Amino acid sequence: MGKIEVNRERCKACGLCISVCPKKLIIFSPGPNSQGFYPAEQSSEGECTGCALCAEICPDVAIEVWR
């Protein structure tokens, strides 16, 4: 079991983490950050394995993974 925390202000909403998550549990937030991007966040559906693929692919180092 794991969970992720996205730094909303760092995220540019590129969607790479969404495409790489094997559990398909990252979604775009319904609300924008101060730069007008809709940042990624962990969905309440499904279980994060803590694999950290999302954090590794993020070009803005916006994701922290907790195991």
Interface residues with ligand SF4 (CB under 6 A) are: 2, 4, 6, 11-17, 21, 23, 25-26, 39-40, 42, 48-54, 57-58, 60, 62-63, 65
Task: Enter the DSSP assignment of 30.
Answer: S
CB of 11 to ligand SF4, least distance (A): 3
Q: Which residues contact 27 (CB under 8 A, 6 or more apart)?
A: 18, 40, 41, 42, 43
The CB-of-30 to ligand SF4 minimum distance in angstroms stands at 14
Rounded Cα gap, residues 48 and 38, in angstroms: 21
Nearer to ligand SF4, 34 or 60 (CB): 60
